[in-house]
Structure 1
Amino acid sequence: MTHREPSTASECILDARAQLGECPRWDERAGVLYWVDILGQALHRFDPSSGVDTVFGLPEAIGCFSLGEDGGFIAGLRSGIWRLDDHARLVEMLAANPEDTRTSRFNDGRCDPHGRFLVGTVDEPKVVGHAHLYQLAGRELLTLSGGLLTSNGLAFSPDGRWLYHSDTPNFTIYRYPYDPTTGAWGARAVWVTVTPTAVDRGRPDGAAVDAEGYYWSAFYEGGRVVRFTPDGQIDAVHPLPVRCPTMCAFGGSDLRTLYITTARAGRPDYELAREPLAGGLFALRTDVPGCIEPRWRG
């Protein structure tokens, strides 16, 4: 397959038909993109230079992961936080899921600038709000926040001084002061509230922050990626040809390709007929680069 850079408009670069694509992560050392299909229970390795997508199956749902500084991965699965080898085989559980795994699994997560792993859960019935956001400290999970339906959108400002995350079903993005040196955090505050309408249920899902400190949020059921200024104002809107983007990440040799995962699980037949590329991996070129993703330091 001949390599071609994606255009400034979004385009599908891999017709993956993922059930619930999530957690794109650019590996700047290997020049490849890792991503997951949560419901497909798989970690993918996509090589944009060849178009080859390699699939590593897992025994349970994988919500998120980070690359390890010395190889392998740290990952949030349904049962807990696991260390994986280079082929995504389970090596060791570092911390069990403290919630009821019949209705809870780990969802969105990433490492802070010093390599600490932060991860949230999803309350699958989405009724009470039993989900949390955690920080892994050794083999202990410290609670940053609770009362959530779906912890999502975890990202850090370029200097590591602000921690962002969203509660997708509540249409809200939060922000916390954060000390990247110690890992200490401050009080949670509402940063952005999205108002749904009868025809637009777009809500903030997974996210990334660029080198200028702008927050890019994939709007699930909104068919777009929204770029927010550091003070929470909408700067730009990038439409997609599918309704359910799930997360975005910067990659490419210059970190100016925005990769976007999408979903097709649970979507009505008429929507999938209209949007056959749902579940695909999309990309668009950006004027501003992203930041190199921190790796887990164990």
Structure 2
Amino acid sequence: MEGTKHVGLLTMSDNKIMELIYATHAVHGVEKFDVDSLLLHVQNILNGATQIVDNAIQGWDANLEYIDEKELKSGFSSPFCTLKQITCELSCKAVPGEEIAHQTTLSIFNKLSSYSWDAKALLVLAAFALEYGEFWLLSEISQSDQLAKSLAILKQVSVLRNPSALLKHGKDLFEINGLIKVALQVIECIFELEKLSDLSPKEVPALSLAKHRIPAGVYWAIIAVIACATKINLLTSNNEGHEQDLSIYAYRLHYVLNDLNRQLVICKKQLGYQLSFPLG
């Protein structure tokens, strides 16, 4: 399989990426679930978790009361089994590098072959949020709750949460937090574009090109999440001999976000929308 050859992520074109991931994509028989509700839950989890991390790095107490929570719909059924399968792919990845991240990404694409492009990206981010949110929630409540304290010990929370660890790994945590925020923004932008997908090319001529960019955007969002998970695993395992560089993923994901935002702006202008957000 060509995807098993050594890859250079900075030099791999979007066309090459799409060739690899389209080979894993089942066009027919797409599995359905409430993606909009899952996105709301992921936004709430990551907004809260990243706020805890930002405050911890700066030495502030977290105040989650002021986080803008999304209003949730009742009756949502979580795709929990699928999330746990993805979590297994993300967990204990203690070997950094582009090649491992790329192969893990393709493995996840194969597992999620019957889901739509936006659902693939969201499910991976949701699986990450499941662990990331729990980790940082435990860091907040473990001092006052015995159950949380034991769970926090098993999850190695103190390895990153104690003052000396924050001083040592603050930059790493800042990078992880920042990249996860961008991954969420990319997925939110993809969702916005997908909402326009029922419109005709006559109404929105630019939509065809915009939708063509989505699969590559999904790839970069997923591989960035995998890289963040690997970095967290390395930090919590005190694996001093290995480092996961996130700069390449941040570079490409910011490019993807700006490109998708531009496409979204063009599409909305063609529909005559009044825009209220900057170009990323």
Structure scoring higher RCO (CA < 8 A, sep ≥ 6) equals 2
Q: Common fold, TM-score beyond 0.5?
A: no
* TM, length-normalised to structure 1: 0.26
State which structure, 1 or 2, has the greater radius of gyration over its C-alpha atoms: 2
**Higher share of residues assigned helix:** 2
